[in-house]
Amino acid sequence: MKHKFKEGFYWGTAISALQTEGTHSDDGKADSTFDVWFKDEPERFFGGEGNGIAVDFYHMYKDDIKLMKELNHNSFRFSIAWSRLIPNGDGVLNEKAVEFYNGVIDELLANGIEPFICLFHFDMPWIMQEKGGWESLEVVNYFAEYAGIAFKLFGDRVKKWFTHNEPIVPIEGCYLYGFHYPKINDFRRGIKATYYTILSNAKAVKKFRELRERGVLSKDSTIGAILSMSPVYPRDENDVEDVKAAKICELFFTNSFLDPMVKGAFNKELLKLLKTHNLLLDFYTEEELTIIKENTIDFLGFNYYFPRRVKSKDIRSEGEVNNPEYFFDHYELPERLFNKDRGWEIYPKGVYDLLMLLKDEYSNIPVYISENGIGRHNGDQEDTDENGYINDDARIEFVKGHLNWLWEAQESGSNICGYHMWSLMDNWSMSNAFKNKYGFLYVDRENGLKRSIKKSGHWIAKVSENNGF
């Protein structure tokens, strides 16, 4: 075995409530921002398809867990829908939701699969968005209350928790680039929402530690957050302006969440840059900064799909700063390997560079790859044989390439603890709906959502069984 991973390494996949459960509002779920968006603008979603059914993990989870067992999962990451568990935001539980999540947890454990639970994966309850969403301190406090309820309900069995999945994405989507509802498009408000999202993480961690100290949670329970991370590379490492542009890009897209969540303090260079451009408004308190400082995460999940490559601005920016690209331009490597269906560059070494960054600059915090995957639109169709079997060798090569660099990082001293592929199954995606297929399992939407294992699924089952390849 050339690439052997350390004992206890976590193998599995990840899903989200928003993308897999289906809404099933007759069982008490309230609307999230995406539910309202689809009602308002169904044309913004590929094929005009919403997530009313999604892949119906809500009803099919027992069969899906059997398939996880076939894939030799020893762990599985999923999210709780805040709008399902506490529909009115008033602390009153939806008992059908409690029953559902208890069922998922118990079924996973019965099959020897450890549950990793994420509290927030993009699906802001609409009732909370109407209160201001992540711009509202009231919503921050409601989130901490929701977190505490979830810990008490499920923490007797669940030991691995995440507060947020990719918290920068709602900031980008709502406040910078308009690809998430309600498309606010205001950089200053986005900075405020970033701050309050980070505060919500700290308050949830504080609640978690209080409950753990009281014995409500087991002593070996841990809590983290999942960040979207991409290594940032300058076009020319010998060009001072390109290097400066790459550093600024990294400040916005890496340091913004990573530093306060892991180190307990905001990056000083980023703060200086924001102050220089009159973007840092006085909405925070010293008490809140202390909460952030004292409640850093135990471990980190990060999602890696592609690198960022940037260069200095071709045309100097003037006027007001309305997004990070005021400071840099994106650069496309001419000889890059890329996913023709998605357009994203494929650069497996990026995962190694990120893990070395965490090792060297963030105290080698325990880390999991929480998502990594390749979305294929035509590719999976073209790889389907006459028997309907998907010979997705391209996905196998993608995963193998990243696992190779994951192993290299492990050998170089990284505290890497696991790998969760996105995703267990082809599922619904924000705006792309069912266009891009990411799963180890194919979902036949013309045949009762029947699942079948792709070639990549059989391959990863052997990797997990052997703890290496």
Closest CA to 224 of 343, 77, 85: 77
pLDDT surpasses 90 at 444: yes
Tens digit of pLDDT for each residue in 280-290? Answer: 888 899 999 99
Mean pLDDT rounded to a whole number for the chain: 97
445, 434 Cβ separation under 8 angstroms? yes
pLDDT of 24: 95
Residues 341 and 438: beta-carbon distance below 8 Å: no
How much of the chain, in percent, has pLDDT values that exceed 90? 96
Amino acid at the residue 278: N
Domains and CATH numbers, the chain: 10-466 (3.20.20.80)
Using pLDDT thresholds of 50, 70 and 90, give the confidence band for residue 431. confident
pLDDT confidence tier of residue 468, bands split at 50, 70 and 90: very high
Report the C-alpha gap between 45 and 38 in whole angstroms. 8
The pLDDT of residue 378: 84
Q: Specify the DSSP element, H or E, that contains 351.
A: helix 349-361
Catalytic residues: 371
Can you tell me the mean pLDDT for 314-328?
Answer: 94
Q: Which amino acid is at 405?
A: W
**349 DSSP assignment:** H
| All residues at 6 or more sequence positions from 454 whose CB lies less than 8 Å from its CB, including other chains | 380, 389, 390, 392, 395, 439, 440, 441, 442
- pLDDT for 371: 98
The secondary element (H helix, E strand) that includes residue 368 is strand 367-371
Q: Which of 166, 142, 117 is nearest to 12 (CA)?
A: 117
Mean pLDDT of 11-33: 97
Model confidence band, residue 1 (pLDDT cutoffs 50, 70, 90): confident
State the residue for tokens 């505060």: 199
DSSP 227-284: EE---EEES-TT-HHHHHHHHHHHIIIIIHHHIIIIISS--HHHHHHHHHTT---S--
* pLDDT score, position 430: 87
Confidence grade of residue 154 (pLDDT, cut at 50, 70, 90): very high
Is the confidence at residue 442, as pLDDT, over 90? yes
Question: How many helices (H) and strands (E) would you count in the chain?
Answer: 17, 13
Contacts of 232 (CB under 8 A, 6+ apart): 246, 247, 249, 250, 253, 254, 307, 308, 309, 310
Give the pLDDT of residue 282.
85
In this prediction, residue 417 has a pLDDT band, given cuts at 50, 70 and 90, of very high
Query: Which range (5-9, 63-67, 316-320) has the least confidence?
Result: 316-320
pTM, two decimal places: 0.98
Give 48-58 pLDDT, tens digit per residue.
Answer: 999 999 999 99
Instruction: Count other Cβ atoms within 10 Å, centred on residue 26.
Output: 7
Mean pLDDT computed over 403-425: 98
Q: Which of 374, 248, 360, 233 is nearest to 307 (CA)?
A: 233
Residue 273 banded pLDDT, cuts 50, 70, 90: very high
% of the chain residues with pLDDT over 70: 100
Q: 94-148: per-residue pLDDT in tens? A: 999 999 999 999 999 999 999 999 999 999 999 999 999 999 999 999 999 999 9
Q: What is residue 184's predicted lDDT score, i.e. its pLDDT?
A: 96
What is the structure's pLDDT at 141?
98
For 174-215, what is each residue's pLDDT tens digit?
Answer: 999 999 999 999 999 999 999 999 999 999 999 999 999 999
